[in-house]
Structure 1
Amino acid sequence: MSKKKLIVPSILLSNALIFILLRFSSATEDEHKEFFIVYLGDQPVSNVSAVQAHINVLLSIKRSDLEAKESIVYSYTKIFNAFAAKLSKAEARNLSLLDEVLSVFPNRYHKLHTTKSWDFIGLPSTAKRNLKMERNIVGSLRSLRASRMMDFGPPPRKWRGTCGHYANFSGCNNKLVGARFFKLDGTRDPSDILSPVDVDGHGTHTSSTLAGNLVPDASLFGLARGAARGAVPNARVAMYKVCWISSGCSDMDLLAAFEAAIHDGVDVLSISIGGVGGKYVSDALAIGAFHAMKNGILTVASGGNDGPSSSSVANHAPWLLTVAASGIDREFRSRVELGNGKIVSGVGVNTFEPKQKLYPILSGADAGYSGSDDGARFCADGSLDPSKVRGKLVLCELGGWGADSVVKGIGGKGTILESAQYLDAAQIFMAPATMINATISIGSDIQIPRSKGPCSFYRFLFISGSEIQDQNAFSSPDVAAPGIDILASYTPLRSLTGLKGDTQYSKFSLMSGTSMACPHVAGVAAYIKSFHPNWTAAAIKSAILTTAKPMSSRVNKDAEFAYGAGQVNPDRARNPGLVYDMDEMSYIQFLCHEGYSGSSMAVLVGSKSINCSSLLPGIGYDALNYPTMQLRVKNEQEPTVGVDIAVKPTSLSFSRSGQKRSFEVVVRAKPMPSPQILSGSLVWKSNRHVVRSPVVIFKPLD
Structure 2
Amino acid sequence: MDEPTPVDTDGHGTHTASTAAGNAVKGSLYGIGRGTARGGVPSARIAMYKVCWGGGCSDLDILAAFDDAIPDGVDIISISIGGPSRQFFHDPIAIGAFHAMRKGILTSCAGGNDGPMISTVQNNAPWIMTVAASSIDRQFISKIRLGDGTTTWGNGINTFTMKNKIYPLTSGAHASNLTKNYPYGNASACDFGTLGEAKVKGRIVYCLGDSGPDSTIKGLKGAGTIMAVDPQLDYYMITLTPGATVARYKDGDKIDRYINSTKMPRAVIYKTITVRMKAPFVASFSSRGPQFVSRSILKPDLAAPGLNILASYTKLTSLTGDPSDRRFSDFTIMSGTSMACPHASGAAAYVKSFHPDWSPAAIKSALMTTATPMRIRDQYGELSSGSGQINPLRAVHPGLIYDIDESSYVSFLCKEGYNSTSIGILMGDKKKYKCSDFKKARGFDGLNYPSMHIQLGRKDTKISAVFYRTVTYVGYGNISGFKAKVTSPKELSVVVIPNMLRFTKKHQKQSFKVFVKGKSVKNGTDILSATLEWINFGYSVKSPILVYKQGAFF
Same fold (TM > 0.5): yes
1:684 counterpart residue number: 534
> CA distance change for structure 1 residues 638 and 521 in 2, over 3 Å: closer, same or farther?
closer
2:106 counterpart residue number: 298
> May I ask how many residue pairs the two structures share in their alignment?
505
| CA-to-aligned-CA distance 1:102-124 (integer Å, 9 cap, x gap) | xxxxxxxxxxxxxxxxxxxxxxx
Task: Note if contact 2:143-2:154 (Cα within 8 Å) is conserved in structure 1.
Answer: yes
Match 2:401 to one of 566, 576, 579: 579
Distance 2:487 2:75 in 1: 41
Task: Note if contact 1:593-1:620 (Cα within 8 Å) is conserved in structure 2.
Answer: no
Matches within 5 A, 1:427-442: 427-430=237-240, 431-442=242-253
Higher mean alpha-carbon deviation, 613-622 vs 527-536, is at 613-622
Please tell me whether residue 590 in structure 1 is matched to residue 412 in structure 2. Answer: yes
> CA distance change for structure 1 residues 619 and 442 in 2, over 3 Å: closer, same or farther?
farther
Task: Note if contact 2:74-2:105 (Cα within 8 Å) is conserved in structure 1.
Answer: yes
1:458 counterpart residue number: 267
Distance 2:399 2:539 in 1: 6
- Amino acid across the alignment from 1:534: D
Please tell me whether residue 600 in structure 1 is matched to residue 412 in structure 2. Answer: no
Match 1:567 to one of 357, 377, 389: 389
> CA distance change for structure 1 residues 690 and 293 in 2, over 3 Å: closer, same or farther?
same
Matches within 5 A, 1:284-683: 284-355=92-163, 357-371=165-179, 372-398=183-209, 400-401=211-212, 403-420=213-230, 422-430=232-240, 431-442=242-253, 445-449=256-260, 454=263, 456-470=265-279, 471-473=281-283, 474-476=286-288, 477-552=300-375, 555-605=377-427, 606=429, 609-612=432-435, 622-631=445-454, 639-674=488-523, 675-683=525-533
- Amino acid across the alignment from 1:235: A
Please tell me whether residue 227 in structure 1 is matched to residue 36 in structure 2. Answer: yes
SS of the residue corresponding to residue 309 of structure 1 reads coil
> CA distance change for structure 1 residues 575 and 443 in 2, over 3 Å: closer, same or farther?
same
Task: Note if contact 1:340-1:446 (Cα within 8 Å) is conserved in structure 2.
Answer: no
Please tell me whether residue 238 in structure 1 is matched to residue 39 in structure 2. Answer: no
> CA distance change for structure 1 residues 639 and 341 in 2, over 3 Å: closer, same or farther?
same
| CA-to-aligned-CA distance 1:589-643 (integer Å, 9 cap, x gap) | 222222322222221024573334777888986211001111599x856542121
- Amino acid across the alignment from 1:692: K
Name the structure with the higher strand share.
Answer: 2
Distance 1:250 1:447 in 2: 51
Task: Note if contact 1:355-1:461 (Cα within 8 Å) is conserved in structure 2.
Answer: no
Distance 2:153 2:377 in 1: 21
Task: Note if contact 1:296-1:537 (Cα within 8 Å) is conserved in structure 2.
Answer: yes
Higher mean alpha-carbon deviation, 265-274 vs 466-475, is at 466-475
SS of the residue corresponding to residue 119 of structure 2 reads coil
Match 2:5 to one of 181, 184, 195: 195
Task: Note if contact 1:628-1:693 (Cα within 8 Å) is conserved in structure 2.
Answer: yes
SS of the residue corresponding to residue 692 of structure 1 reads strand
Deviation at 1:442, TM superposition (A): 2.5
| CA-to-aligned-CA distance 1:16-35 (integer Å, 9 cap, x gap) | xxxxxxxxxxxxxxxxxxxx
> CA distance change for structure 1 residues 414 and 604 in 2, over 3 Å: closer, same or farther?
same
- Amino acid across the alignment from 2:510: R
Deviation at 1:397, TM superposition (A): 3.1
Distance 1:209 1:636 in 2: 36
- Amino acid across the alignment from 2:37: A
- Amino acid across the alignment from 1:538: A
- Amino acid across the alignment from 1:344: T
1:11 counterpart residue number: none
1:39 counterpart residue number: none
Deviation at 1:467, TM superposition (A): 2.4
| CA-to-aligned-CA distance 1:507-565 (integer Å, 9 cap, x gap) | 1111111111110000011111111111111000001000001114x631111011110
Distance 2:221 2:445 in 1: 63
Deviation at 1:293, TM superposition (A): 1.0
Task: Note if contact 1:356-1:461 (Cα within 8 Å) is conserved in structure 2.
Answer: no
> CA distance change for structure 1 residues 195 and 287 in 2, over 3 Å: closer, same or farther?
same
SS of the residue corresponding to residue 206 of structure 1 reads helix
Distance 1:614 1:529 in 2: 32
Task: Note if contact 1:598-1:611 (Cα within 8 Å) is conserved in structure 2.
Answer: yes
SS of the residue corresponding to residue 445 of structure 2 reads helix
Percent identity, aligned pairs only, is: 48
> CA distance change for structure 1 residues 284 and 660 in 2, over 3 Å: closer, same or farther?
same
> CA distance change for structure 1 residues 529 and 344 in 2, over 3 Å: closer, same or farther?
same
SS of the residue corresponding to residue 97 of structure 2 reads helix
Deviation at 1:566, TM superposition (A): 0.6
Matches within 5 A, 1:126-141: none
1:252 counterpart residue number: 60
Distance 1:421 1:638 in 2: 33
Task: Note if contact 2:304-2:343 (Cα within 8 Å) is conserved in structure 1.
Answer: yes
- With the length of structure 1 as denominator, give the TM-score of the two structures: 0.68
Deviation at 1:421, TM superposition (A): 5.0
- With the length of structure 2 as denominator, give the TM-score of the two structures: 0.85
2:478 counterpart residue number: none
- Amino acid across the alignment from 1:210: A
Task: Note if contact 1:475-1:563 (Cα within 8 Å) is conserved in structure 2.
Answer: no
SS of the residue corresponding to residue 277 of structure 1 reads coil
Matches within 5 A, 1:135-284: 189=1, 192-215=2-25, 217-244=26-53, 246-284=54-92
Distance 1:589 1:377 in 2: 58
- Amino acid across the alignment from 2:546: V
Greater relative contact order: 1 or 2 (C-alpha under 8 angstroms, separation 6 or more)?
1
Deviation at 1:488, TM superposition (A): 1.1
Task: Note if contact 2:491-2:518 (Cα within 8 Å) is conserved in structure 1.
Answer: yes
Distance 1:570 1:527 in 2: 7
| CA-to-aligned-CA distance 1:356-396 (integer Å, 9 cap, x gap) | 63333322244343141315444344443211111221122
